[in-house]
Chains A and B, each alone.
Chain A
Amino acid sequence: MTRILLVEDDPPLRAVLFRTLTRAGHTVETAARVAAAAEACRTGAPEILILDLGLPDGDGLEFLASLLPPVRPPSVLVLSARSQESVKVTALDLGADDYLTKPFGTAELLARLRALERRLHTPPRPAPAASFGEITVDRERSLVTRQGQNVSLTAREYALLLFFLDHPGVLLTTRRILHEVWGRDDPELAVYVRVYTARLRRKLERDPRRPRHFVTEIGLGYRFVSGEGE
């Protein structure tokens, strides 16, 4: 049960999304224009904002930039017909949490929302143990097992794994991973992220070539999918 503000100017799409989201148990408010969306942000205090970029009275990106806390909803999911990576990167830089290109599948949308929701209600301390697929991670003992077998990880690999585990379902840009796991901001070092993610896949995925958990978002970064509930 999450308060969602849906900003979309195309009436049929708005209608079908409204229906889908309410069925999934969310409280949905809709807006077709920037002005109405701004108003709804102030009054309705939505928890998740679903924002279309091409709006009749303004650009969604500009609107996003203008939203400042406390008016700004805690989570923002951008929906757009623009598929260029540059637009996606800009949206993410402006604080969007995720990005979906039209057309998109309903299941995909709901999964993304779930990820955002989970983050809204994250317990202050992560669960001592987590598992996905064949893998179990015991944080207390820093132990990673695969079907009961120990998996050897380097310190850096383990740190990266924990970072993924803490952000399930969320798009993590290469830059953010580099910043939070390595403490570096030099985009030239993106290769570290690629190489270490590939190592995690080799050690933890059943088919490293077709990963199910450490998924590449081409040109953007990675997404960790735990595989539960999807």
Chain B
Amino acid sequence: MPENNRREDRPDPDALLEEAAAEEGGPPSRGRLRIFFGASPGVGKTYAMLSEAQQLRRKGVDVVVGIVETHGREETMRLLQGLPRIPPLVVEYRGRTYQEFHLAAARERHPAVLLVDELAHTNLPGGVHEKRWQDVEDLLNAGIDVYTTLNVQHLESMSDIVAGVIKAPVRETVPDTLFQQAAEVILVDLPPDDLLQRLREGKVYVPEQAQRARQFFFRKGNLLALRQLALRATAERVDSQMLTFRTMIRSGGAGKGASESLLLCLGPRDRAPLVRAASRLAEALHARWHAVYVETPTLQRLPTEERSTILETLGLARELGARTGVLSGEDPVPEILDYARRHDLNRVVIGRGSHRSWQRWIPHRPFVRRIARRAPELDIVLLASARPEPATATRSPAREEASGWHRLSRRGVWKGYGVALLASLVATVLAGGAVAFFAWFHIRGLTFSNITMIYFFAVVAVAWRDGRGPAALAAVVNVIALDFFYGLFHRHVGEAGFQDVLTFAVLLAVGLLVGQLTARARYQTRVAGHRERRIRELYALARDLAAAVTEEQVALHGLRVLRTTFDARAVVILPETGGRLRVFGGEDEEAAPVELEIARWVLGRGEPAGLGTSTLAGAHSYYHPLRAKGEVRGVFVVQPRSQRRLRIPEERRQLDTYATLMASTLERLQLVASSQETLLEIQAERLRGSILAVLSHDLRTPLAAIVAGAEMLVAELPEGAARMHGRDVLDRAHALNRVIDDLLEMERLQGGAHLRRAWTSVDEILEVALREVDLNDHPLRTEIPEDCPELYVDPTLVRRVFVNLFQNVADHTPSGTPITVQARKREGECEIAVWDTGPGFVPGQEEAIFEKGVTASPDRRDGRFGIGLALSRAIVEAHGGTLRARNRLGGGAEFSLVFPTPAPAPAEVTLTEPSHPDTPTRDAHPAG
């Protein structure tokens, strides 16, 4: 295979890796990247880059051209003179050769400055990296300074906007980080009017593939918009550079952005200003940041409104780029420290004004000091936080009652106090009974402490069952009751000292303490239970999905989980082929209200939308994409009974997990389906192959008998009518054979049979084709130039093309009409025209004649015509060429064939056969 030979200079990835590993021993400083940045092609970026390179060269700097696209512009080419170049990598791809940047050679050469044009370029398959910017990263890491060029449309963050402006997708993008981290960005600016002028003068190269986009792209409106974008991108970069600079000064130059991280601890009173301040701080430090809120048993008793506000504040942090979370624990300090350690965050940010609210968590210990003592490695930043904002304006009037697992209902609380009173009553009755019993039977030994124990038990019981408040009530009531008993006891049973009264106090304290402990224990239990339930649900869903074999099952399992665990109305929407959407669970009672337009938007963008989000927030439901591996495979729509749940980060994450699980199951199903399709196709192909074999055998064998028999008749019969019929039989049999050949080749071609390509000369193909066609009295003229390239084609198939074309001309032109075959060599292709001077095609039918089975015109074309030309076109197209028909200006029909000719044609190799000197035969001296 010729391809193999040409690929030899392809870089060996292993060698590159080794090289990279060797360099890690003593890492060179990273190279500097200089980007020549422009608004559109043609503004002169490459020119600017080369000019600067020339200046450097004059200064004696080692500047080398890695790759530069001159696009044939003369001025640019002139600037290339004198600059050493890295030889390009010649890559063959789909029969053509391309010149690519030779990364390995560039690294080997290791110049001080390397010019690499077109940063956004996508490398051909088979290179080291997929994109050129990755090559550039490599070079920078190797310590080589790189000069490159970039258009604004290729900046990743701009590509969406630009695509909107030029109404065409932008496929090649470069990550913004590269742009941001470039040592220098030089804006090459050209006013749109000047650019258009240059375009008119033909000074701007327009890539061929963008020909169609050209008239859209180079419009003044577009150019203005692009220029604005380019200016903005440059300005923003300058801005952020300033910021980095300042930060470096502030932190003594030590701070390196990437390793900085912040943890913002939100207290219940903290509001948006603190979040914004933290966000600015994070930005200034180039830090990643998280924001958390710790919900303690105390805080969960806050009014619903206040808790919603906290979640809104967290939502704002998320929008500003923080990762957010709600932690639960009785003491925020260990929770926060644990979170910080788990996420490797080195700074804790706390709002100063909010310290009072933090104190509510643990009343007697200053929060900040506790953090400082327990985690000396953490920096603590106190931000001047703000007064609480007047929040009423943003509140929705119909805020729903808080729901979810933290809820402790008011009714439950009042019930607890009732129980406390009841317990006191029972204790009093028991105590009274005990006193009466001892008094009645005159039993001695009952002390006041014993009575106290009964009340003590009641208080502990209430505390255990209903928490601190009811326990306190029970304690107070019991003290009063005890007081009453003290008198009673004193009268009937005996002495009781004042020290017993002390017991009351202890009773109260114990009651409160036990109440507190139980409440905490119960809270933790509830949290743990809830977590367990979530995990159980997730596990159940995963199990169900693993067993699912249809998309419908996936949707229904998903629906069940959403409805039960989220206590929500829900539907699942999956896209079908043809762009339709299929809604699952849309008919039943638990269906969420759906707007298909929003679902489509989510499918297209892969981002959540609707209720509770910032996109289309007016919708009645929340739309969440089912995405796995970056592909959106469906949407689920949820309308929870409580909107608040959508704002809790944990709940969102749970939804996300469900979505991912469903999406990967859908992906699996699609893979299975496509593999089954492939299997079916393979089997169908095998069947087709055997049918072809049987057909060809069963048709051709009888035909052979017919031909042989008819020939014998013709040979043996005397001249006359019978012999003429014999000849007719022969003719028809041959015609039939051609149809069979066509049909079989057509089937083979459509079945995807491989082309058996070989280098073949046009002469030989014509020779063989002409042997198979009876041209009758049509004189044939061939004009094939000496330097006509050989074709790299399947010779037997291409021969059929000419057989069919010649047959067509012979059948449909009056006898004596000359046929001409003309070959022309063109850049990268060879055109062969077959034309006659006959009546030509029926006007308007030039394309129709290539349709299978279509007979263009009954008077001109017989039945076998259709398949023959259709096959011819199929053959030519299988070779990457074209076959067209047209009427000639001077009359007559012309078929024009174009075959791509891969360079270099091997014929050039042969003429230099060295092995044997030409020794002319005797008597045959210099004749030519």
Q: Which residues of A approach B to under 8 Å, CB–CB?
A: 10, 12-13, 16-17, 19-20, 52, 54, 79, 81-83, 85-86, 101-107, 141-144, 150-156, 158, 188, 190-192, 194-195, 198, 208-211, 215-219
Contact = CB atoms under 8 A, between A and B. Distances in A.
A16 B790 CA distance: 43
B764 interface: yes
Interface in B680-730: 693, 696-697, 699-709, 711-712, 715
A194 B795 contact: no
A220 to B, nearest CB: 9
Contacts of A105: 707, 711
Contacts of B139: none
B210 interface: no
A12 B911 CA distance: 52
- Among B712, B764, B913, which residue has the most Cβ atoms of chain A within 10 A? B764
B712 A150 contact: no
B799 interface: yes
B696 A81 contact: yes
Interface string B499-520: 0000000000000000000000
A154 B928 CA distance: 11
Given A16-B709, A194-B761, A218-B796, A83 B741 contact: yes
A46 B66 CA distance: 72
Interface residues of B toward A: which range? 35 or more
Contacts of A104: 704, 707-708
B763 A209 contact: yes
Instruction: Pick the 8 closest A-B CB pairs, nearest first.
Output: A81-B700, A152-B924, A102-B704, A13-B705, A152-B927, A103-B704, A103-B707, A154-B918
Contacts of B733: 103
B922 A142 contact: yes
B190 to A, nearest CB: 52
A54 B697 contact: yes
B756 A144 contact: no
B22 interface: no
B364 interface: no
Contacts of A188: 906
A106 B711 contact: yes
B764 A194 contact: yes
Contacts of B706: 103
Interface stretch (B80-88, B552-560, B765-773): B765-773
A192 B909 CA distance: 9
A192 B760 CA distance: 12
B436 interface: no
Interface in B775-814: 782, 784, 790, 795-796, 799
26 contacts: A10-B705, A12-B705, A12-B709, A13-B704, A13-B705, A16-B709, A17-B708, A81-B699, A81-B700, A83-B744, A86-B756, A102-B700, A106-B707, A150-B927, A152-B920, A153-B924, A155-B918, A155-B920, A194-B764, A209-B763, A209-B766, A209-B767, A216-B768, A217-B768, A218-B768, A219-B756
B925 interface: yes
Given A81-B696, A216-B768, A154 B907 contact: no
B922 A191 contact: no
A79 B708 CA distance: 13
Contacts of A106: 707-708, 711-712, 715
Given A10-B702, A106-B712, A156 B918 contact: yes
Given A13-B708, A153-B924, A209-B767, 15 more contacts: A13-B705, A54-B697, A79-B704, A83-B744, A103-B737, A143-B921, A150-B924, A152-B925, A154-B919, A155-B916, A155-B920, A190-B758, A194-B761, A209-B766, A218-B799
Nearest to A161: B921
In this complex, the member of B705, B744, B758, B766 whose beta carbon has the largest number of chain A beta carbons within 10 angstroms is B705
B923 interface: yes
B764 A16 contact: no
B744 A190 contact: no
B392 interface: no
B759 interface: yes
A219 B795 contact: yes
Given A13-B704, A20-B712, A103-B703, A216 B767 contact: yes
A198 B910 CA distance: 13
Interface in B419-437: none
B756 A12 contact: no
Q: Which of B790, B916, B924 has the most CB of A within 10 A?
A: B924
B701 A13 contact: yes
Contacts of B795: 218-219
A198 to B, nearest CB: 7
A192 B705 contact: no
A158 B712 CA distance: 41
B689 to A, nearest CB: 11
A216 B913 contact: no
Contacts of A151: 924
Interface string B25-38: 00000000000000
Nearest to B701: A10
Nearest to B924: A152
A126 B15 CA distance: 61
Interface string B893-920: 0000000000000110111010011111
Nearest to B764: A216
A85 B705 contact: no
A82 B705 contact: no
Contacts of A215: 767, 771
Contacts of A83: 696, 700, 741, 744
A158 B921 contact: yes
A192 B922 contact: no
Given A103-B737, A195-B907, A218-B765, A154 B708 contact: no
Contacts of B761: 194, 198
A59 B737 CA distance: 24
Contacts of B763: 198, 208-209
Nearest to A201: B763
Contact of B782 (A190, A209, A217): A209
B920 A153 contact: yes
A155 B715 CA distance: 45
A196 to B, nearest CB: 9
A144 B921 CA distance: 8
Contacts of A158: 921
B742 to A, nearest CB: 12
Contacts of B696: 81-83
Interface in B289-322: none
Contacts of A142: 921-922
B701 A81 contact: yes
Nearest to B821: A209
B699 to A, nearest CB: 8
A142 B923 CA distance: 9
Contacts of B918: 154-156
B610 to A, nearest CB: 61
B921 A16 contact: no
A159 B741 CA distance: 37
A210 B910 contact: no
Nearest to B925: A152
A92 to B, nearest CB: 15
Contacts of B708: 13, 16-17, 20, 103-104, 106
B756 A154 contact: no
Contacts of A209: 763, 766-767, 782, 784
A29 to B, nearest CB: 18
Contact of A143 (B702, B756, B759, B923): B923
A191 B767 contact: no
A150 B924 CA distance: 6
Nearest to B707: A103
A101 B909 CA distance: 35
Contacts of B910: 191-192, 195
Question: In the complex, which of the residues A143, A195, A209 has the most CB atoms of chain B within 10 Å of its own CB atom?
Answer: A209
Nearest to B734: A103
Q: Pick the most buried of B734, B767, B907, B920: most chain A CB atoms within 10 A of its CB.
A: B767
A219 B733 CA distance: 25
B691 to A, nearest CB: 14
